[in-house]
Amino acid sequence: MDKLIIEGGTPLHGTVPVQGAKNAALPILIATIVAPGEHRLGNVPDLVDVSSTLSLLGRLGCSSRGDFSDLRIDTSRVAHSEAPYDLVRKMRASVLALGPLLARCGSARVSLPGGCAIGVRPIDQHLKGLEALGCQFELSGGYVNGRVDKLRGAEFTFDVVTVTGTENVLMAAVLAEGTTVLDNAAAEPEVEDLANFLNSLGAKISGAGTRRMVIEGVSSLRPPESAYPILADRIEAGTYLVAGAITGGDVRCDGADAVALAPVLTALSAAGCTITDGPGWVRCARTGPIRAIDIETRPHPGFPTDMQAQLVALLALAEGTSHVRETIFENRFMHVAELHRMGARIDVDGNLATVHGVSQMEGATVMATDLRASASLILAGLAARGSTELLRLYHLDRGYEKLEAKLGGIGARVRRVAEGRGD
């Protein structure tokens, strides 16, 4: 297994090209099922989770070809409607196959996603929303078995704001008879990107990006001629902007969207960074001290939970004490124990982390526990004295494309080596 070796202490300067958004690419790839034919997608990120999604589509009978800048997905034939355990356990987003398969095939058999490092993550809202459209489910042998005679539009209010829950119901509602109204829906930019993609297939969705979506069902959908470009990844961009901030450098992200990143940029400027932006780029520089701030993660347009770990790494070096409350997932402070190994002083009490800023962190061997925790430890390593070794890189590869090359391009000394190999 590979590990990453990071030599800290270099202020980072330069420009990073932003990848397509993982959390838009996954639902959009699976959504191709609702429109039989050949789809063309552009700006698809080269990630492990994308490859897992293509394997899932392959298992269902679809085929794909081309590279990620112009990916062709042929969904003319969907021979199976099962998302098996061996795929779902690797990537819980496979549960997104439920809605499209029910819409396309009238049945779906999807392995229940188990627990996850960051929380229990039930799918009750996915099932309740699809039941409102007329689907019936029974759970057996660790699988959700769903079937529907005819999808019918309905009014449904989510009990909690759920990103993939909203996406699953949306992908079924587009082919339901009549109108569906989804209230307390997720408004993440990635949900909006999925809605835009579905509208490009002929769907009639309005209100995407707000808490209330209205979907006029249609009888069929078909792939457009032109390629659909996946949205830029605001979380990847946010991570690199924090790399500039934590090293006292100046980093520009090309392809980043300042509007989608607004809550992150607000936090970074409150923490003492200078933020500038223009059409298709965002830049973050820091010359003065990092200021302590208080943050609470919320559904979009609140501060994204997927940037919480990265911000904790930054605030670990702030002047003063910061408070970070994680309100989305019940177990998303696993990076804290590893940051302690680097000399950070952070107290965790339930969903509140009290971050007592220190003047310097030290390189150490640390272990990744989940995708964004990996990013947090890399950021800490970039600012730390000496070298840091990050183990369990498979978490990182699920969500960050070409990370060593991108960091190297802005002056970082980062390399991937096979575990057991030293310098």
Contact status: 231 vs ligand EPZ (CB under 6 A): no
Q: Which stretch binds ligand EPZ (CB under 6 A): 38-46, 116-124, 145-153, 212-220?
A: 116-124
Site residues for ligand EPZ, window 79-108 (CB under 6 A)? 93
Find the shortest distance in angstroms from Cβ 176 to ligand EPZ.
19
Strand partners, 391: 367
Contact status: 168 vs ligand EPZ (CB under 6 A): no
Q: For residues 316 and 292, is the Cβ–Cβ distance under 8 A?
A: no
Q: Which stretch binds ligand EPZ (CB under 6 A): 19-27, 78-86, 237-245, 339-347?
A: 19-27
Single out the residue of 162, 239, 308, 388 in contact with ligand EPZ (rule: CB under 6 A).
Answer: 162
Find the shortest distance in angstroms from Cβ 123 to ligand EPZ.
5
Q: For residues 130 and 168, is the Cβ–Cβ distance under 8 A?
A: yes
Closer residue to ligand EPZ in complex, CB, 205/285? 205
Strand partners, 213: 182
- Return d(Cα 247, Cα 243) in angstroms, integer: 6
163-173 and 124-132 helices cross at what angle (nearest 10)? 20
Contact status: 115 vs ligand EPZ (CB under 6 A): no
Single out the residue of 126, 234, 252, 286 in contact with ligand EPZ (rule: CB under 6 A).
Answer: 126
Contact status: 53 vs ligand EPZ (CB under 6 A): no
H or E element in which residue 283 lies: strand 281-285
Q: Which stretch binds ligand EPZ (CB under 6 A): 51-59, 124-132, 356-364, 403-411?
A: 124-132
Active-site pick, 62, 105, 116, 273: 116
Contact status: 328 vs ligand EPZ (CB under 6 A): yes
Single out the residue of 244, 249, 255, 399 in contact with ligand EPZ (rule: CB under 6 A).
Answer: 399
What's the gap between Cα 43 and its chain centre?
Answer: 15
Contact status: 146 vs ligand EPZ (CB under 6 A): no
Q: For residues 345 and 408, is the Cβ–Cβ distance under 8 A?
A: no
Contact status: 163 vs ligand EPZ (CB under 6 A): yes
Find the shortest distance in angstroms from Cβ 401 to ligand EPZ.
13
**What single string gives the DSSP state of each residue in 48-108?**
HHHHHHHHHHHHHT-EEES-TTSEEEE-S-----EE-HHHHTT-GGGGGGHHHHHHHHSEE
Find the shortest distance in angstroms from Cβ 169 to ligand EPZ.
10
Single out the residue of 43, 94, 239, 305 in contact with ligand EPZ (rule: CB under 6 A).
Answer: 305
Strand partners, 72: 40, 65
Write the CB contacts of 175 (distance below 8 Å, at least 6 apart in sequence). Answer: 34, 103, 104, 151, 217, 218, 219, 220, 221
Single out the residue of 100, 165, 249, 363 in contact with ligand EPZ (rule: CB under 6 A).
Answer: 165
The one-letter amino acid code at 224 reads P
Closer residue to ligand EPZ in complex, CB, 64/164? 164
Whether residue 273 lies in the annotated active site: no
Find the shortest distance in angstroms from Cβ 239 to ligand EPZ.
11
Token pair 């124990």 is found at 337
- The 10 Å CB-count burial string (b at 16+, else e) for 97-122 is bbbbbbbbbeebbbbbbeeeebeebe
- Return d(Cα 404, Cα 17) in angstroms, integer: 13
Contact status: 164 vs ligand EPZ (CB under 6 A): yes
Q: Which stretch binds ligand EPZ (CB under 6 A): 158-166, 217-225, 308-316, 345-353?
A: 158-166
- Return d(Cα 27, Cα 93) in angstroms, integer: 8
Q: Which of 237, 223, 307 is nearest to 28 (CA)?
A: 223
Question: With contacts defined by CB under 6 A, how many residues of the chain interact with ligand EPZ?
Answer: 25
Closer residue to ligand EPZ in complex, CB, 180/305? 305
Contact status: 303 vs ligand EPZ (CB under 6 A): no
The one-letter amino acid code at 257 reads D
Q: Which stretch binds ligand EPZ (CB under 6 A): 120-128, 174-182, 245-253, 347-355?
A: 120-128
Site residues for ligand EPZ, window 334-393 (CB under 6 A)? 371-372
Write the CB contacts of 248 (distance below 8 Å, at least 6 apart in sequence). Answer: 11, 286, 287
3-class DSSP state for residue 172?
A: helix
Closer residue to ligand EPZ in complex, CB, 124/419? 124
Known catalytic residues are 116
Q: Which residues bind ligand EPZ (CB under 6 A)?
A: 22-23, 26, 93, 119-126, 160, 162-165, 186, 305-306, 328-329, 371-372, 399
